[in-house]
Amino acid sequence: METNVKERIQLFGPKRVSSPYNQTSSLNRPDFSESQLSSLESQNDEEMSTMFTKIKSLKSLSEKMGVEINSSNSLINDVNDQFGQLQGTLKKTWNKMLIMAKRSGISWKVWLGVFGVVILMFFIVWF
């Protein structure tokens, strides 16, 4: 143990410097009156209540954002499923049209043109 003390004295010197934060003398303390202390405490309480209301509103906002994100994710999943079903339906319809064009002996391009003309006629009548 003595060797540890000797090594410590060699490293840090014989006198230990005290921390400036541990001083308890009245010379370093500011002298506040009771009114100043109560004023500071009331200001502190006001700031704490303001911070509490801000944190509460931020918490409420983040919870609402979470609900909105979850509902948006479910909506996106539903739209994705519907597009998948639509893709399957369009594939089946296209394949049926190709089979119909082969059976009738008319090219599928001609049938596509006929359907295009019919759709064009609908637009002309509506507008």
| Phi, psi (deg, nearest 5) at residue 81 | -65, -40
Is the confidence at residue 127, as pLDDT, over 80?
no
- State the pLDDT at residue 18: 63
Write down the pTM of the prediction: 0.45
pLDDT digits (tens, 9 = 90+) for 9-57: 666 666 655 666 655 555 555 667 888 888 888 999 999 999 999 999 9
pLDDT digits (tens, 9 = 90+) for 83-101: 999 999 999 998 998 888 7
Is the confidence at residue 65, as pLDDT, over 90?
yes
Which residues lie below 8 Å from residue 110, measured CB to CB, with a gap of 6+?
Answer: 101
- Where residue 111 falls among pLDDT bands split at 50, 70, 90? confident
Query: How far is residue 42's CA from residue 115's CA, in Å, rounded to a whole number?
Result: 80
Cα-based distances in Å from 61 to 49, 70, 88: 18, 14, 41
Rg (CA), the chain: 41
